[in-house]
Structure 1
């Protein structure tokens, strides 16, 4: 969609990513996105998907600046993953190394911070409890959204290679937005800020790997992260697996 540049099916392309059981991820039930602010043409597309829930994972200031335009018949749910106590960094003095480290540290917190684990738990429980197609998103649809997608894909048995390649697709789907943001920061604050902004608006393997390594170190497996860390029960995990595979 032209106006929602990182909207895509969590199941991946074609018939869906293959999983370890020999099945595939089920298409058409769970979508990921950047902020949901469609133009008229894209609203028609969104409406045709019959989305039951729109999970907005952004902070309150992000939402005030750019509130969702929710399709008719879709229930809007706000789950503030990182919380309003964490200020959004300014691009004025953000160098590329600082931006990389900031993102890596945030990905570790997705696993290490009990409050963030609880908020992801709220998202996963609601996805499991509500039938029908659903979408979740943050601002660019890459970090909070990217981790949620990697968790669900890993849970149902998508290969690590496909989980990572799917995560990195943001650089393709959002290329125009990344270029525009970097150019604006360069013009306003100079080349280093522009380069730092490009890092902040993009994805790179080390960021997602930081979360995956944190899961391995703390819990051993993704399923134990979801049970012992996030607090999902066996029934919820079973529902997610059944819903997301075909």
Structure 2
């Protein structure tokens, strides 16, 4: 990576910040964002990596930015857990040339679902992000087999409220911020090869990480939201099978209680972005104050990731 390009990008960001235009230009949508974003989403299909043992694996490249650039492909991937990859999957993953795999799951998730299966010579880096005990709550509710208890734990809007609280902690929890920041710094590092990060379903912690990265790269907000919401498309059939299996086994009379936990929703994401406004005033403030990313790191991220 050219030092001159980094210095130039840093100077541009610093100048924009000094005159107060950076948040408006790089990190917020203009008045006609709906029209432009629809064009972006239509012109830029999401690049799924089809695997047998994981359903929500994607290349984050290909999105257009407000600055007229395009996010490079083959550098950053997002996914659900990699613990059930088949031999054929491992061959496909090997072809991605990954040099880093980051696992946002907490130890309990790894214990129940299994460690990542990865190509030889590649090991995942544990970087757990709190789920506020959701996974344990979910395991307890299902294993109880008690429909009354399950309704008490997940019904009446409680599951949705739980999800909104989790998203707020992506912003408020210092440990969570540190994990996301460390991943962004690694992605920005010019010496770091292709990176993949994931959680269990690849939709919440992974979805937030992807949303933040895309926004940091000046991808339009609506486009970044579209990438986030696409998990519902990729996970829909699999999650429906899970619910059907739970009902058939007798463990849940009303498995639809799980839908708010299985889906991503705009109001979940809005809970996090509203928390950003409350705590940092702007998305740029979250990047610099909340995640501790300096101008040089943001410039390196742009130079490496956008062409």
Q: Same fold judged by TM-score > 0.5?
A: yes
Asked if the contact 2:131/2:166 (under 8 Å) is kept, the reply is no
TM norm structure 1: 0.91
In structure 1, what is the equivalent of residue 70 of structure 2? 24
1:121 alignment partner, one of 181, 186, 193: 181
Secondary structure, aligned partner of 2:196: strand
In structure 2, what is the equivalent of residue 183 of structure 1? 244
Indicate whether 1:223 and 2:248 are aligned. Answer: no
Equivalent-residue separation in structure 1 for 2:282 and 2:64 (angstroms)? 19
In structure 1, what is the equivalent of residue 15 of structure 2? none
Change (3 A) 1:82 1:196: same
User: Which runs of no fewer than 5 residues in structure 1 stay unpaired?
Assistant: none
Asked if the contact 1:156/1:244 (under 8 Å) is kept, the reply is yes
Shift in Å, 1:10? 1.6
Equivalent-residue separation in structure 2 for 1:214 and 1:241 (angstroms)? 25
Equivalent-residue separation in structure 1 for 2:292 and 2:264 (angstroms)? 28
State which structure, 1 or 2, has the greater radius of gyration over its C-alpha atoms.
2
Change (3 A) 1:240 1:180: same
1:68 alignment partner, one of 113, 116, 123: 116
- Aligned residue runs from structure 1 range 101-140, under 5 A: 101-129=161-189, 130-140=191-201
In structure 1, what is the equivalent of residue 202 of structure 2? 141
Shift in Å, 1:72? 2.5
User: Which runs of no fewer than 5 residues in structure 2 stay unpaired?
Assistant: 1-50, 143-149
Change (3 A) 1:141 1:96: farther
Cα RMSD after superposing both structures: 1.8
Deviates more, 1:214-223 or 1:61-70: 214-223
In structure 1, what is the equivalent of residue 52 of structure 2? 2
Secondary structure, aligned partner of 1:32: strand
In structure 1, what is the equivalent of residue 13 of structure 2? none
Runs of 4+ in structure 1 over 6 Å off? 83-86
Secondary structure, aligned partner of 1:120: helix
TM norm structure 2: 0.74
- CA deviation vs aligned residue, 1:106-131 (integer Å, no higher than 9, x gap): 00110012221122122222222352
Secondary structure, aligned partner of 1:189: coil
Asked if the contact 1:50/1:73 (under 8 Å) is kept, the reply is no
Asked if the contact 2:243/2:256 (under 8 Å) is kept, the reply is yes
Secondary structure, aligned partner of 2:233: helix
Equivalent-residue separation in structure 1 for 2:132 and 2:159 (angstroms)? 20
In structure 1, what is the equivalent of residue 102 of structure 2? 55
